Structures are given as C-alpha cells and as structure tokens.
C-alpha cells in the first residue's frame, strides 16, 4: 500500500493506493503541525510500503529551494520507508499522463498559486530541477508576488491574488456564479498559450481547486493566442486528489 500526500498552499490531501485502487484518506488545512500529525496517524493505522509527496515548492536534487505559497519553508519526512518528494505540478502532470494514457502532456495546476508540470515520453521533465514555474513568469507591472518578485503571473491570476482583489475566496465566487473571467484570466490564458508554443505538446491538462472548476468554453480563449498550427487538446481534470495520485505513481517506482 502506498501513501500519497499533496501538500498545497491552503490544503493538504492524503490518499492510499492499494494496487491500482485509490482510497481518499483525508483533507485538512496545511500547517507543518497538521501534516506531521496526519502522517503519523496513517502510518500507525495502515501498513504502508512507500510514500509519495507532492509539495508546492521549488525542488532541486530533492531539496526545497523555495516554497512561496506554503506556511512553512522546509519539510523533512523522518520515516524508515522508501519515499519520494516531488513538485506538486509535476505530480499532477504525471498522474494526468498515466490516467489519460498520454505520454506527452503539459499539466497546469491553479490553486493558491499556479504550477506547471511537463511530461515528455512518459517522464517528468525537470530541467535542472525547477522547470515549469509558469506562475512566476514575469508578466509586467509592480504588483508584489508572494515569492518576493514583481509582476509575476500569480499576481494577476491565482487563488491568493483573486482573494486580494475581490475580497472573497475563489470557492465562494464559484458558488455564487461570479468567478471573474476578466482581463486577468485572459493574461492566464495567454501565458498558457506561450508555454504551448515552447513545448508543442498535444495535451494541456488543467486542474487544482481552481483550475479544475474553470469552464471549458472560457479556457478555449487559449486558442485565441495560438497560431492555427498549434491545436493542443485542453482537458479539465475535476479531481482534487490528482497531485496525491501522481505522488503514489512515483512512489510505486521505488518498490
């Protein structure tokens, strides 16, 4: 049995993978105390063979370089089991590749922040470790990003910037039917189109607690910024446990 963990900026999701069956285990607010407590609990209750962790952080050689959207800046799991820690968007893209049976895919997660994972020929492309940090591409302007930079994509379209701009969490705006498909959403679509042109992958999977709830007809705006030679399939993944599933798939490779 494999434990998959998605440590996000606002929520942490945990699930179990027993062979190929996924069993959602718990969802709770992210804090270092909560994460450690919940992991200890499941390790006590279940016979776990390996652990996969997807985390909203920039990683290089297994070490956290920066975690602008997390309430803590370092995380070390002390267990005597095989485990792997990977960027959350990479886990999302890897899970999408497996579940959609697509060996070449780009995954975009939108939640507290924005992440991008790239899978080429069935393998995660990391560059030197931090490839795909689309949320911190410079769009322009003087708005301060949570990472310390200015004018990044997340300043225009992300859970934290939407909350600052509208005074409500995205989930409230969705519930009220008032999610803002405005000029900032258009900037988001343009950024994805730019990434499509860089990698020319056939599928763009979009998920996360915000991304998975976006309307497909609105996301078709991406095509407006692409030459007609680029026609990727846009797939919306309405599954909040996708990062944890990807972490499970990666942990399985350790056994």
Residue span of the structural domain in which 210 resides: 102-236
**Considering the entire predicted model, what is its pTM?**
0.97
- The answer to the question of residue 155 being in a domain is yes
Contact 132, 89 (CB under 8 A): yes
Domain match, 65 and 175 both:
no
Domain match, 6 and 122 both:
no
Return the pLDDT at 246. 98
Cα separation, 39 vs 220, whole angstroms: 39
Domain count, the chain: 2
H or E segment at 53? strand 50-55
Return the pLDDT at 142. 95
The three-point CA angle 196-202-205 to 5° equals 75
Domain match, 154 and 246 both:
no
Domain match, 10 and 84 both:
yes
- The answer to the question of residue 123 being in a domain is yes
Domain match, 227 and 108 both:
yes
What are the φ/ψ torsions at residue 143 (nearest 5 degrees)?
Answer: -60, 135
Q: Cα 71 to chain center, whole Å? A: 16
The three-point CA angle 81-86-91 to 5° equals 110
Domain match, 184 and 119 both:
yes
- The answer to the question of residue 66 being in a domain is yes
Return the pLDDT at 232. 98
Return the pLDDT at 235. 98
- The answer to the question of residue 96 being in a domain is no
Domain match, 177 and 150 both:
yes
Return the pLDDT at 46. 94
- The answer to the question of residue 152 being in a domain is yes
Return the pLDDT at 125. 98
Domain match, 117 and 225 both:
yes
- The answer to the question of residue 97 being in a domain is no
The Cβ-side half-sphere exposure at 68, using a 13 Å CA radius, reads: 19
Contact 3, 230 (CB under 8 A): no
CATH code assigned at 182 = 3.30.420.40
Return the pLDDT at 62. 87
Q: What is the mean pLDDT of each run of 10 residues along the chain (255 residues)?
A: 97 94 95 95 95 96 93 89 97 98 98 98 96 96 96 98 96 96 98 97 98 98 97 97 98 96
Domain match, 34 and 135 both:
no
């Amino acid at each position: 049995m494999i434990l998959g963990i998605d440590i996000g900026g606002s929520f942490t999701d945990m699930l179990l993978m027993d062979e190929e069956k996924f069993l959602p285990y718990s969802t709770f607010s992210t804090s270092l105390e909560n994460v450690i407590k919940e992991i200890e609990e499941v390790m006590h209750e279940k016979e776990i063979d390996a652990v996969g962790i997807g985390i909203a952080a920039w990683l290089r050689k297994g070490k956290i370089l920066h975690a602008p959207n997390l309430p803590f800046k370092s995380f070390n799991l002390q267990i005597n089991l095989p485990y792997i820690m990977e960027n959350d968007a990479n886990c999302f893209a890897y899970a999408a590749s497996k579940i959609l049976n697509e060996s070449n895919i780009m995954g975009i997660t939108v939640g507290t922040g924005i992440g991008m994972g790239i899978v080429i020929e069935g393998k995660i492309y990391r560059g030197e470790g931090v490839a795909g940090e689309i949320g911190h591409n410079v769009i322009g302007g003087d708005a301060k990003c949570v990472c310390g930079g200015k004018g990044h994509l997340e300043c225009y379209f992300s859970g934290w910037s939407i909350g600052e701009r509208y005074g409500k969490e995205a989930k409230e705006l969705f519930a009220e039917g008032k999610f803002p498909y405005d000029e900032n959403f258009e900037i988001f679509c343009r950024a994805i189109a730019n990434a499509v042109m860089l990698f020319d992958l056939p599928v763009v999977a979009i998920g996360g607690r915000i991304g998975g709830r976006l309307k497909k007809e609105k996301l078709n705006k991406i095509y407006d910024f692409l030459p007609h030679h680029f026609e990727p399939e846009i797939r919306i993944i309405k599954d909040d446990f996708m990062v944890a599933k990807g972490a499970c798939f990666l942990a399985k490779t350790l056994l």
